[in-house]
């Protein structure tokens, strides 16, 4: 038996009714894309490797949307009630997805099951929307299927555009990840419930209307409660991850900055950037190993790429003969904290108070590209790349042939370059690839690692002239690997 919807008795003219349905399609599409982007963004932060996380979320959700479209066929006979139920569950799942993902990571150390589960659930519910809305719009006024599909998908795609733009430019910077998802869920629930309870209330029995109102009221109340508790929840989750002595926790436009310890009882401060330990106490074993080999030679002018926390700058300033240090870091918030926060200043030794230090707030790649080849007196004797590790894709261009070619243009004839090449024992291939990439621009290289057994940090020291093994540090074999370019990145090999 083929289900053929008949026009409904509406409280408004048919034209206005169609406009209201299409407006709801627009809002639901915007909310659905926000949920998707929220999962990708939070999973990339918690788990790393944004390409993998985006691929998992998108592929799972698209598959689940197909499943949801098939399952929605069973609800067409009661399309209004089915749509109200779908939107209530979707608003609750999408609104709580970010908080649930963060909780799984903080208390259980595994976010993957939650990521896949919420991608499946949200995908199934999102896929059920269009078939039900197709039935509802036909209930207002019959038209050919092609015209109805064109109208629905036009509203759907425009809504997706607005949601995709609103997430990075409005929700994330203004509300943050957790509250942004909760607010989106509230908008989703209000739009779906309002459409059914007003425009299609004639399709519902009195009992069904009360059930829809109660369900949507409960969803909105839960989302509002979670929004009110999001601050204490974030603090508790951070303490579960970093310990009870979190002193600074700031989410900038580029990364999360967490500073622990450094209080009056003498516990040394520790700095975490995007969940990874960057420094703990004084001196920092990582920064000492990064800076010292490059400073064993001419060091009059020094360029630090990244390193807005000032700790590498502090190491540089410990050496005599340094006349000028230029720091290029895109995160102005980190630099401001490094200048003004007492615990941060303790960690970097007040490096930014030194008159020799100048700061440029810019992307290192773009800053280098905008500079001509250095002439006499302008070249840098030392370039320190204190950048996020090569294990992710967010900074792929900062580990490419193009980037190192731009760096080489700024090096003096006896200049040295040092690069953070990842962690020993996790991805050995990264060290070999970074070494091969630096060598490909005509520099002599020497990979090395922090002293001691077990895991540690790996680096690549390079120069125009041959460089010897760093004293007191373990040399590494770069091995054979292909250089990394912007057109052919190494990630995922």
Return d(Cα 110, Cα 113) in angstroms, integer.
7
Return d(Cα 447, Cα 100) in angstroms, integer.
41
Q: Is 354 annotated as a binding residue?
A: no
Q: Is 177 annotated as a binding residue?
A: no
- Residue 272 φ/ψ, nearest 5 degrees: -120, 130
Q: Could you confirm whether 386 is annotated as catalytic?
A: yes
Q: Kindly state the tokens that stand for 434.
A: 């970074």
Return d(Cα 198, Cα 188) in angstroms, integer.
16
3-state secondary structure of 2: coil
Residue for token pair 């905008």: 370
Burial class (CB in 10 A: 0-12, 13-18, 19+), 236: middle
* Identified catalytic residue from 156, 274, 386, 430: 386
- Residue 166 φ/ψ, nearest 5 degrees: -70, -30
3-state secondary structure of 449: strand
Q: Is 410 annotated as a binding residue?
A: no
Q: Is 329 annotated as a binding residue?
A: yes
* The pairing of beta strand 301-306 with beta strand 324-328: parallel
CA nearest to 118, candidates 129, 131, 102: 102
CA angle in degrees (0–180, nearest 5) for 408-412-413 = 100
| Residues contributing to the annotated binding site for S-methyl-5'-thioadenosine | 255, 329
Q: Which residues are annotated as a binding site for spermidine?
A: 287, 309
Instruction: List, by residue number, the catalytic residues.
Output: 386
User: Which residues are known binding-site members?
Assistant: 255, 287, 309, 329
């Amino acid at each position: 038996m083929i289900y053929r919807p008949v026009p409904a008795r509406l409280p408004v003219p048919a034209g206005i009714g169609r406009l209201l349905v299409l407006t709801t399609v627009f809002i639901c599409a915007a909310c659905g894309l926000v949920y998707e982007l929220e999962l990708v963004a939070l999973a990339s932060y918690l788990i790393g490797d944004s390409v993998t996380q985006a691929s998992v979320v998108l592929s799972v959700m698209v598959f689940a949307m197909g499943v949801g479209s098939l399952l929605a066929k069973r609800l067409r006979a009661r399309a209004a009630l089915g749509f109200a139920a779908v939107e209530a569950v979707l608003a609750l799942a999408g609104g709580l997805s970010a908080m649930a993902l963060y909780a799984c990571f903080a208390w259980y150390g595994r976010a993957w099951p939650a990521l896949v589960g919420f991608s499946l659930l949200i995908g199934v519910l999102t896929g059920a929307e269009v078939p039900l809305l197709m039935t509802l719009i036909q209930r207002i006024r019959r038209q050919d299927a092609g015209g109805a599909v064109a109208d629905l998908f036009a509203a759907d795609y425009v809504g997706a555009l607005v949601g995709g733009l609103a997430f990075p430019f409005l929700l994330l910077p203004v509300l943050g990840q957790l509250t942004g998802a909760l607010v989106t869920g509230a908008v989703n629930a209000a739009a779906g419930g309002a459409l059914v309870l007003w425009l299609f209330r004639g399709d519902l029995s009195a009992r069904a209307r009360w059930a829809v109102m109660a369900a949507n009221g409960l969803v909105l109340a839960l989302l509002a409660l979670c929004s009110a508790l999001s601050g204490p929840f974030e603090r508790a989750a951070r303490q579960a991850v970093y310990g009870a002595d979190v002193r600074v926790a700031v989410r900038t436009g580029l990364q999360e900055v967490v500073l622990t310890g450094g209080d009056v009882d003498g516990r040394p401060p520790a700095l975490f950037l995007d969940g990874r330990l960057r420094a703990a106490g004084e001196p920092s074993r990582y920064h000492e190993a990064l800076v010292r080999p490059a400073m064993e030679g001419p060091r009059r002018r020094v360029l630090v790429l990244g390193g807005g926390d000032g700790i590498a700058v502090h190491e540089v300033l410990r050496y005599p003969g340094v006349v000028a240090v230029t720091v290029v870091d895109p995160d102005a918030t980190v630099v401001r904290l490094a200048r003004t926060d007492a615990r941060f200043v303790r960690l970097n030794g007040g490096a930014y108070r030194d008159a020799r230090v100048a700061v440029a707030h810019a992307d290192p790649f773009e800053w280098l590209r905008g500079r001509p080849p250095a002439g006499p007196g302008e070249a840098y004797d030392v370039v320190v790349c204190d950048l996020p590790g090569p294990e992710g894709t967010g900074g792929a261009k900062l580990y490419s042939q193009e980037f190192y070619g731009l760096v080489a243009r700024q090096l003096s004839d006896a200049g040295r370059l040092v690069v953070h090449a990842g962690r020993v024992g996790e991805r050995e291939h990264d060290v070999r690839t970074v070494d091969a990439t630096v060598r490909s621009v005509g520099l002599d290289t020497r990979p090395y690692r922090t002293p001691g057994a077990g895991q540690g940090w790996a680096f690549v020291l390079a120069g125009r002239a041959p460089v010897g093994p760093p004293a007191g540090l373990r040399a590494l074999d770069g091995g054979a690997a292909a250089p990394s370019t912007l057109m052919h990145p190494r990630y995922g090999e």
